[in-house]
Structure 1
Amino acid sequence: MGAGFSGAVIARELAEAGHRPTVIDGRDHVAGNCHTARDPGTGVMVHVYGPHIFHTDDAEVWDYVNAHTPFRPYRHSVRTTVRNRVYSLPLNLLTINQFFGQTLRPDEARAYVEARADTSISEPANFEEQALRFVGPEMYEAFFKGYTEKQWGVDPRELPASILKRLPLRFSYDDNYFAHRFQGIPGAGYTALIESILDHPAIDVHVSTLFQPEMTDRYGHVFWSGPLDGFFGYAHGRLGYRTLDFERFEGTGDWQGCAVMNYGDRDVPWTRITEHRHFAPWESPEGSVLYREFSRACGPDDIPYYPIRLVEEKALLAEYADRAARTEGVTFVGRLGTYRYLDMDVTIRDALDTARAFLDRAPGAAMPAFVTPPL
């Protein structure tokens, strides 16, 4: 169930091993949230559900996707507007010098930031404490506090410190948003990539088709990449997500000069503006398609984007994971099926590992509910 990366990769691996997979998706297209489509008015290749940048250190995954459609080099460029000024992201030596009006060298900047950090915090208990220990109050207030409140809809003191630990602080002028060896975007778009993965005579694809859990008896095994709680009819309650609203507008030529412009001020309602022409720098359309993004709590009829995974959600996840472990004939996969935030390369890696676990199991052996445990 699901024609995104998880469903497509698993189906292809099983088809090449002699199985006859059926792939079902409720949307009218494949590729899930990675779906791309050419805008007829401007000619821009639009990332319909928000931008997706492929980056990985996994050479096998990189070779896998490139075998299906060639990737073009892409270097992700992000800026942020804060207090009517534009700064470089991720936080780097240019950001530090811009923000504090300095001309510091790397060693000087390291000492300068450390002098502003709250060294009384030895074991940060939450996002705010981690930020204060990490960069001090000035940069926390400017670059993290307002954006985080808008993105997650809670006080930063309610978020775990681990979220900020993943964000880099560089004492060089390197503003490449990702640090992975392999980075790029498929030249023909992500939908073409997924279509290629699904292009096998043994794979039967059905879009605009809702899969009901009771349909599992029709198949030898089900790989479910839909919402974990949805499979069980939300019997224990709904797992919490953040969703996104997109306000589309068009421009002429290059409207903002970069792919993504964040807005860190709390009084600006959107979190960022994405300009989609920049996700295909090898093209030169005359027009431009842009999205303002607004983050909010996910309702029953919304598209779930970001799993919240705070204490309450993890307790509920444990209930569903236990129920899944007692359900025969179903393996839960992907971002929604395992209630984890997954980059595309990790999703593909998990899908390959899941398919191989299915193919390599001993005759008569049961397939686990999760190849990668969600907790």
Structure 2
Amino acid sequence: MTTNFLLVGAGLSSAVIGRHLAEAGHKVTIFEGRDHIGGNCHTERDAETGVMVHIYGPHIFHTDDEEVWNYVNSFETFLPYKNRVKTTSQGAVYSLPINLHTINQFYGKTMRPDEARAFIEQQADTSIENPQTFEEQALRFVGPDLYEAFFKGYTMKQWGCHPSELPASILKRLPVRFNYDDNYFFHKFQGMPENGYTAMIEKILDHTNIEVRLSTMFDSATTEGYDHVFYSGPLDGYFGYKLGRLGYRTLDFEKFTDTGDYQGTAVMNYGDVDVPFTRITEHKHFSPWEEHEGTVCYREFSREAQPEDTPYYPIRMMDEKTLLADYVRLANETPNVTFVGRLGTYRYLDMDVTIREALDTARQFSDCLTNGAAMPAFVKSPL
């Protein structure tokens, strides 16, 4: 039986779900409000320099999920790439995440791993037994000096509030290493698509049963005539924000070009609170197999998202979680719609997790179709 599906948004979630459904013989229509596919992963060549630019900020692919790794490589060749982040703090440059080199350089010492581990434990505030906030987590595990230098200012700029107002879980994602490993991620598979993410998503969407309509806005009245909707836009936006708006952080980019090598690395963070931007990214370093005379850089500024802004990071503070629960109830009462992706589920998702959930969603829908069961509003609960 051929079924007609409407997918909202032409990013990773819709591309993966749409491809799965199309290959099963169903008709897929994708509405995309922007004039390009790829969502916030969109890449394109800079006209002036030829550099492949991550238009909405850098996206680095890293995963331990072998099926997801094989999936993306079936559409685009991923070349080796290790994310090595530097930070400028208090007048010096250090490696992130905090590792043995960072610790020795910061304290002017030559400690071995076991010595550094004991030294950092001495710096830590061991009176904090059960850290609840970002600040408590940092003070408990690295102490005040490293917290002030590497976490406090950057976090205040990134999230627009004091680290004492943020949950400890945010910092738990950031490791401290007692060796000289400066690879930011620890996943088995890491790389960058040779021709950019947009080229990969174009190939995923290249199927006779998929129609993509760019510059096409969605409203719930357009769902008529479709058997099921997969919605990757903002969860609150589906309901016209009638209960209020969920909070997001957004990014402003100040693009500039130069010749040669501007900063010698792809990502340079700025940890001092008096520097208004969070980092500078130099995009040609994200494609180290290419050579370009010119270079393209972005200064990144983080702020609270306004209604007209592109949402990036869900805030998920207590007020948002209360409102989120109300929207989840509405979604669960809405038939024939499944909410997917970072915006649709109001969760911070890396690209590999987005693809994994999209694959799982598509497979679950196929099972529901076979068994005559109703598809839930969420395959992964936002709560």
**TM-score, normalised by the number of residues in structure 2:** 0.97
State which of 83, 86, 105 in structure 2 corresponds to 1:98: 105
Residues 203-256 of structure 1, C-alpha deviations (whole Å, 9 max, x = no match) = 111111111111112211000000000000001100000000000111111110
Letter in 2 for 1:269: P
Q: Distance in 2 between matches of 1:333 and 1:162?
A: 23
> Does 1:209 pair with 2:221?
no
Please report how far the alpha carbon of residue 354 of structure 1 lies from its aligned counterpart in structure 2 after TM superposition. Answer: 0.4
Letter in 1 for 2:110: T
CA contact (8 A) 1:216 1:329 kept: no
Q: Distance in 2 between matches of 1:108 and 1:297?
A: 42
Task: Indicate the SS of the match to 1:218.
Answer: coil
State which of 221, 225, 239 in structure 1 corresponds to 2:232: 225
- State the identity as a percent: 70
> Does 1:69 pair with 2:76?
yes
Q: Distance in 1 between matches of 2:112 and 2:133?
A: 31
Q: Distance in 2 between matches of 1:217 and 1:365?
A: 21
Task: Indicate the SS of the match to 1:21.
Answer: strand
Q: Distance in 2 between matches of 1:2 and 1:303?
A: 13
Please name the residue that 1:370 is paired with.
378
State which of 106, 112, 117 in structure 1 corresponds to 2:124: 117
Letter in 1 for 2:136: E
Q: Distance in 1 between matches of 2:304 and 2:172?
A: 24
Query: CA-atom RMSD, angstroms?
Result: 0.6
> Does 1:82 pair with 2:98?
no
Please report how far the alpha carbon of residue 77 of structure 1 lies from its aligned counterpart in structure 2 after TM superposition. Answer: 1.4
Please report how far the alpha carbon of residue 364 of structure 1 lies from its aligned counterpart in structure 2 after TM superposition. Answer: 3.0
Q: Distance in 2 between matches of 1:310 and 1:194?
A: 32
- Structure 2, unmatched stretches of 5+, are 1-7
State which of 151, 156, 161 in structure 2 corresponds to 1:149: 156
Please name the residue that 2:360 is paired with.
353
User: Where has structure 1 moved over 4 Å in runs of 4 or more?
Assistant: none
Residues 277-332 of structure 1, C-alpha deviations (whole Å, 9 max, x = no match) = 00000001000000000000000000000000011101110000010000001000
Residues 154-211 of structure 1, C-alpha deviations (whole Å, 9 max, x = no match) = 1111100111111100000000010000000100000000000000111111111111
State which of 320, 324, 349 in structure 2 corresponds to 1:342: 349
Q: Distance in 1 between matches of 2:143 and 2:179?
A: 19
Please report how far the alpha carbon of residue 82 of structure 1 lies from its aligned counterpart in structure 2 after TM superposition. Answer: 0.3
Q: Distance in 1 between matches of 2:316 and 2:59?
A: 22
Q: Distance in 2 between matches of 1:277 and 1:197?
A: 25
Q: Distance in 2 between matches of 1:241 and 1:139?
A: 28
Please name the residue that 2:203 is paired with.
196
Q: Distance in 1 between matches of 2:82 and 2:156?
A: 28
- Structure 1, unmatched stretches of 5+, are none
CA contact (8 A) 1:248 1:289 kept: yes
> Does 1:276 pair with 2:254?
no
Please name the residue that 2:5 is paired with.
none
Q: Distance in 1 between matches of 2:221 and 2:170?
A: 38
**TM-score, normalised by the number of residues in structure 1:** 0.99
Q: Distance in 1 between matches of 2:225 and 2:123?
A: 62
